[in-house]
């Protein structure tokens, strides 16, 4: 019993060391799990945005290519039968479409069996004879021949399933050709696109160290992809051969993923098909309003987590060093306690003094460690705040780039399309010129707004103030709106009423910027008011030393969902506009030291937007 009592301190120390090591292992594993989960969630959000961006770009390029051959089919109505002039025109469109999408062949097939093919960078200037029974335009597989025959029968725009031609998997698009009267069916024009070349243009399908993409058609036929072996390319994902490569546990998840995406739903999930867990996101590729093809992005967890592995290993090493130091300290204490036990009876007072000294030293070390922990916690908090700010900035920047790119693409594509149509149909030049002017003005507005946002967010936004007559600015804004309404030839009746028409109000402002605010508020009122009036009221508040300008309409009012975030970027429920006009207006008014607001009217329908400016 005495022996146990003598060893009791050592047993307690040993238990403390074991407990410390157990707690360390548990906390470290929990910490690594939390970090890994956070990284996976952040990557998931980025991957969802990435697959949406890639599918939108592929769909946009394929749709633009389809529009080009549609335009060419319209021209072909005036150019039957085939001749050198038509071949030259077709070659021009062929080169144009190849700059948009990586297709490898353009073909024209007529009902009488004649046609022409264009491949590579050149074409044959003579018309080629093509057998019709069996159809043999490219000496291709029966899937492609069947698709061409069906297209000739259907007489509508067709998108093919995947097919193998000369060792390459491809898809094709065809457009019918009618004569100039639009009554007689002549044949079809189409293009074929190698799927591997198409997907490689936007990502990776072969290199295991890069972004992994899988491209397939509405039959779930795999047309290009990594990490799938070549033996299953060209077969449906639901075929027995492809089902065998998926683990039994992962098979329901994989099949559900493909079914959801083919039904037109974007989808993201995690599963293991036998070679490790991975994050898979998929989305349909729309050509027009039709989900024609589909794309998956697969990222192994090991690739997602690899950037943080070094950080976790470094952190683990530091923790191990601290734990070893703790263990060494505990070992040293055990040694001291052993010496004390051997000399306890003879040197009680001396050892008591040494214990006191040691306790003091430990207390100081504990205080020092506590201070270090406090400093470390503070540093971690600062890092966390900086990280969150960086995430927020990154998200805003991506949203800004996506919105601006989307909005700029629409007028640019329209301008390009109408310029081409002017060349192809010069008799419609005045009509196309009106649309060119409209889209050019829209592009100019988008560019100006984008530059304003860039100046605001970079801190380079400056005002150029001068003494100006507010009355003249308001009247000019009203004249501009009235002119716009008149030129738009709308049937609705809209009146703009200025309540302070005869009062000059001189104020020190940036005239062009305040004119921009007035134009934005009046345009906003006009956009949501079909019939009725827009009332402008100007009030001089002597006590507050402010001038208030209010724009009141009797339109549909402000949506309750939009109202709390009215002056934020990209907030809009309108089918037109980017939602940045009110944001820029707010920044202009704030830069003048004023206020801006928007609210629904209480006693009548419609809304009120207003701002105030100091006049001293």
Q: What percent of the chain has pLDDT over 70?
A: 75
In a domain, 324, yes or no: no
In a domain, 400, yes or no: yes
The confidence band for 555, taking pLDDT boundaries of 50, 70 and 90, is confident
- Name the residue with higher pLDDT: 99 or 186: 186
CA separation for the pair 164, 141 (Å, rounded)? 7
Mean pLDDT in residue range 599-610: 87
Give the CATH number, domain containing residue 414.
Answer: 1.10.287.130
Mean pLDDT in residue range 81-109: 71
Same domain, 606 and 476: yes
Same domain, 211 and 170: no
Residues 6+ apart with CB under 8 A from 266: 48, 51, 52, 281, 282, 283, 284
Same domain, 607 and 483: yes
pLDDT value at residue 404: 59
CA of residue 100 relative to chain centroid, distance:
21
CA separation for the pair 515, 473 (Å, rounded)? 6
| Ranges 210-219, 344-353, 516-525, 531-540: which has the least confidence | 344-353
Residue 236 has pLDDT above 90, yes or no: no
In a domain, 233, yes or no: yes
Q: What percent of the chain has pLDDT over 90?
A: 7
The confidence band for 212, taking pLDDT boundaries of 50, 70 and 90, is confident
Same domain, 453 and 478: no
pLDDT value at residue 596: 93
The confidence band for 612, taking pLDDT boundaries of 50, 70 and 90, is very high
| Ranges 117-131, 170-184, 316-330, 584-598: which has the least confidence | 117-131
- Name the residue with higher pLDDT: 492 or 67: 67
Tokens of 481: 């709106």
| Ranges 81-90, 496-505, 530-539: which has the least confidence | 81-90
Mean pLDDT in residue range 242-265: 84
- Name the residue with higher pLDDT: 121 or 94: 94
Edge-first strand listing for the sheet containing 277-287: 222-225, 213-217, 290-300, 277-287, 267-272
Same domain, 453 and 555: no
Same domain, 534 and 555: yes
Mean pLDDT in residue range 10-26: 73
In a domain, 322, yes or no: no
Mean pLDDT in residue range 603-614: 89
Same domain, 486 and 599: yes
pTM of structure: 0.47
- Cα dihedral sign for 418, 423, 425, 428? positive
Residue 401 has pLDDT above 90, yes or no: no
User: What is the number of other CB atoms lying within 10 angstroms of the CB of residue 35?
Assistant: 15
Most confident of 23-32, 56-65, 407-416: 56-65
Same domain, 184 and 72: yes
Q: Which is nearest to 502 in space by CA: 469, 529, 534?
A: 469
Tokens of 320: 């191990």
In a domain, 583, yes or no: yes
Element (DSSP H or E) covering residue 187: strand 185-194
Mean pLDDT in residue range 39-61: 86
Of 168, 198, 228, which residue is a domain's last? 198
The confidence band for 205, taking pLDDT boundaries of 50, 70 and 90, is very low
E strands in 333-486: 466-469
Contact indicator for 156, 288 with CB cutoff of 8 Å: no
The single-letter DSSP state of residue 555 is: S
Element (DSSP H or E) covering residue 381: helix 348-424
Q: Which is nearest to 224 in space by CA: 270, 171, 269?
A: 171
User: To 10 degrees, the CA torsion angle through 438, 443, 446, 450?
Assistant: -160
Edge-first strand listing for the sheet containing 546-553: 494-498, 532-541, 546-553, 607-614, 595-600
**Tens digit of pLDDT for each residue in 147-197?**
888 888 888 999 999 988 878 889 999 999 887 666 678 888 888 889 888
Mean pLDDT in residue range 592-600: 92
Average pLDDT taken over every residue of the chain: 77
In a domain, 309, yes or no: no
- Cα dihedral sign for 157, 163, 165, 169? positive
Residues 6+ apart with CB under 8 A from 469: 504, 505, 506
Same domain, 415 and 533: no
Q: Which is nearest to 555 in space by CA: 615, 488, 496, 511?
A: 496
The confidence band for 6, taking pLDDT boundaries of 50, 70 and 90, is low
Of 303, 338, 357, which residue is a domain's last? 303
In a domain, 529, yes or no: yes
Residue 597 has pLDDT above 90, yes or no: yes
Same domain, 600 and 514: yes
Angle between helices 348-424 and 301-343 (to 10 degrees): 170
The single-letter DSSP state of residue 592 is: T
Residue with tokens 């599963």: 271
Residue 455 has pLDDT above 70, yes or no: yes
pLDDT value at residue 525: 86
pLDDT value at residue 134: 33
- Cα dihedral sign for 179, 184, 187, 193? positive
Tokens of 260: 């959801």
Mean pLDDT in residue range 111-131: 54
| Ranges 41-45, 72-76, 543-547: which has the least confidence | 72-76
- Structural domain boundaries, residue 575: 466-614
Tokens of 455: 């100046």
Residues 6+ apart with CB under 8 A from 154: none
Element (DSSP H or E) covering residue 464: none
- Exposure of 392 by Cβ count < 10 A (0-12 exposed, 13-18 middle, 19+ buried)? exposed
- Name the residue with higher pLDDT: 101 or 536: 536
**End-to-end Cα distance, the chain:** 94
Same domain, 275 and 402: no
Mean pLDDT in residue range 369-390: 78
Mean pLDDT in residue range 297-317: 75
Tokens of 400: 């800004």
pLDDT value at residue 123: 39
- Number of domains observed in the structure of the chain: 4
Give the CATH number, domain containing residue 233.
Answer: 3.30.450.20
Residue 567 has pLDDT above 90, yes or no: no
Give the CATH number, domain containing residue 578.
Answer: 3.30.565.10
**Tens digit of pLDDT for each residue in 277-291?**
888 889 999 988 889
In a domain, 392, yes or no: yes
Of 441, 460, 479, which residue is a domain's last? 460
The confidence band for 595, taking pLDDT boundaries of 50, 70 and 90, is very high
Same domain, 486 and 570: yes
Mean pLDDT in residue range 495-510: 79
pLDDT value at residue 400: 59
């Amino acid at each position: 019993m005495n022996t146990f009592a003598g060893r009791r301190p050592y047993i307690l120390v040993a238990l403390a060391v074991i407990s410390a090591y157990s707690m360390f292992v548990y906390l470290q594993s929990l910490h690594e799990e939390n970090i890994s989960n956070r990284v996976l969630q952040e990557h998931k959000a980025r991957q969802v945005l990435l697959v949406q961006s890639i599918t939108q770009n592929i769909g946009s390029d394929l749709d633009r290519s389809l529009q080009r051959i549609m335009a060419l089919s319209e021209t072909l109505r005036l150019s039957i039968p085939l001749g050198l002039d038509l071949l030259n025109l077709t070659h021009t469109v062929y080169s144009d479409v190849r700059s948009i999408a990586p297709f490898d062949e353009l073909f024209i097939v007529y009902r009488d069996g004649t046609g022409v093919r264009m491949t590579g960078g050149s074409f044959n200037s003579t018309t080629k004879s093509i057998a019709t029974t069996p159809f043999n335009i490219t000496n291709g597989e029966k899937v492609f021949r069947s698709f061409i025959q069906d297209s000739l029968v259907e007489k509508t725009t067709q998108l093919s399933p995947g097919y193998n031609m000369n060792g390459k998997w491809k898809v094709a698009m065809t457009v019918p050709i009618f004569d100039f009267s639009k009554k007689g069916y002549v044949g079809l024009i189409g293009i074929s696109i190698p799927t591997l070349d198409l997907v490689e243009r936007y990502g990776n399908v072969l290199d295991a160290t890069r972004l992994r993409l899988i491209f397939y058609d509405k039959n779930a036929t795999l047309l290009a992809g990594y990490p799938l072996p070549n033996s299953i390319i060209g077969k449906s994902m639901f075929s027995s051969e492809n089902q065998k490569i998926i683990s039994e546990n992962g098979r329901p998840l994989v099949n559900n993923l493909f079914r959801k995406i083919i039904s037109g739903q974007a989808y993201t999930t995690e599963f293991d098909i036998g070679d490790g867990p991975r994050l898979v996101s998929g989305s349909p590729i729309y050509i027009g309003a039709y989900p024609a093809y589909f794309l998956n992005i697969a990222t192994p967890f090991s690739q997602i987590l690899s950037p943080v592995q070094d950080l976790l290993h470094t952190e683990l090493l530091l923790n191990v060093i601290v734990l070893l130091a703790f263990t060494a300290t505990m070992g040293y204490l055990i040694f001291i306690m052993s010496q004390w036990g051997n000399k306890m009876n003879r040197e009680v007072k001396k050892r008591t003094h040494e214990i006191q000294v040691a306790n003091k030293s430990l207390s100081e070390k504990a205080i020092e460690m506590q201070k270090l922990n406090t400093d470390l916690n503070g540093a971690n908090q600062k890092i966390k705040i900086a990280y969150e700010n960086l995430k927020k900035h990154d998200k805003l920047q991506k949203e800004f780039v996506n919105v601006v790119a989307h909005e700029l693409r629409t007028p640019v594509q329209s301008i390009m399309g109408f310029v081409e149509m002017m060349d192809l149909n010069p008799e419609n030049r005045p009509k196309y010129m009106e649309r060119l002017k409209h889209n050019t003005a829209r592009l100019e507005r988008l560019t100006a707004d984008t530059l304003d946002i860039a100046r605001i967010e970079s801190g380079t936004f400056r005002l150029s103030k001068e003494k100006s007559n507010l009355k003249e600015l308001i009247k000019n804004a009203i004249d501009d709106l009235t002119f716009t309404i008149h030129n738009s030839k709308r049937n609705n009746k809209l009146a703009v009423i200025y309540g302070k028409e005869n009062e000059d109000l001189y104020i020190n402002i940036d005239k062009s910027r305040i004119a921009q605010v007035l134009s934005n508020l009046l345009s906003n009122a006009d956009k949501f008011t079909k019939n009725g009036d827009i009332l402008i009221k100007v009030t001089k508040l002597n006590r507050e030393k402010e001038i208030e300008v209010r724009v009141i309409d009797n339109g549909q009012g402000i949506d309750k969902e939009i109202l709390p975030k009215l002056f934020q970027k990209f907030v809009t429920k309108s089918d037109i506009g980017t939602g940045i006009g009110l944001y820029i207006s707010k920044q202009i008014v704030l830069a003048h030291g004023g206020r801006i607001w928007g609210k629904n009217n209480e006693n009548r329908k419609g809304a009120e937007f207003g701002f105030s400016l100091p006049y001293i």
